[in-house]
């Protein structure tokens, strides 16, 4: 097996608290991190905080808007960090950035020489997948390292 020294766990920040997807990914990451003595990177990406009018705004207004956008993200990252510590992950690096999620995930994985990305997927299909897109799918296609995907199947899918 190739050495796993750095694990990236993208944290889903679409809700108001740590999602089940992120919890599941953290659980897998904790197992790998303990087994491999790896560093875990917790990453959150905030989408759409800039607008075309930003060029006309004063710097203090832009700074305040960015701080408001990152406040709930930092709370979710705090929750993820606490859960990761409770699971036994000792070495963590937190990253919160604005941008397009899959692009920022791939950029960090490439720049930091990440060995493994562990992330969840909503398991959307059909129209909802077409409309919402799939960050996980884009990461799988473009990642410079292996990607472990933790699906969250709906209860009715498990019995079929």
Sorted by where each starts, the structural domains of the chain and their CATH numbers stand as 6-158 (3.40.50.620)
Give residue 79's pLDDT band: very low, low, confident or very high (50, 70, 90): very high
For residues 100 and 47, what is the distance between their CA atoms, to the nearest angstrom? 6
| Contact between residue 21 and residue 122 where contact means Cβ atoms under 8 Å apart | yes
Q: What is the pLDDT of residues 92-101, one digit of tens each?
A: 899 988 889 9
Which comes out higher in pLDDT, residue 64 or 89?
Answer: 89
Average pLDDT of the segment spanning 84-99: 88
Average pLDDT of the segment spanning 30-40: 93
For residues 62 and 66, what is the distance between their CA atoms, to the nearest angstrom? 6
pLDDT for residue 62 is more than 50: yes
């Amino acid at each position: 097996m190739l050495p796993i020294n750095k694990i990236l766990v993208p944290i889903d920040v679409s809700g108001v608290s740590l999602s089940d997807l992120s919890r599941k990914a953290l659980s897998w990451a904790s197992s790998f991190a303990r087994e491999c003595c790896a560093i875990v990177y917790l990453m959150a990406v905030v989408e759409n905080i800039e607008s075309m009018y930003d060029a006309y705004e004063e710097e203090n207004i832009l700074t305040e808007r960015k701080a408001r956008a990152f406040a709930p993200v930092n709370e979710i990252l705090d929750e993820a960090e606490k859960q990761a510590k409770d699971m036994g992950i000792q070495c963590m690096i937190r990253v919160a950035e604005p941008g397009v999620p899959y692009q920022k995930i791939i950029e960090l994985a490439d720049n930091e020489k990440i060995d493994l990305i562990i992330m969840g997927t909503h398991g959307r299909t059909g129209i909802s997948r077409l409309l919402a897109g799939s960050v996980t799918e884009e990461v799988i296609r473009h990642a410079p390292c292996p990607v472990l995907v933790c699906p969250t199947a709906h209860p009715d899918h498990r019995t079929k």
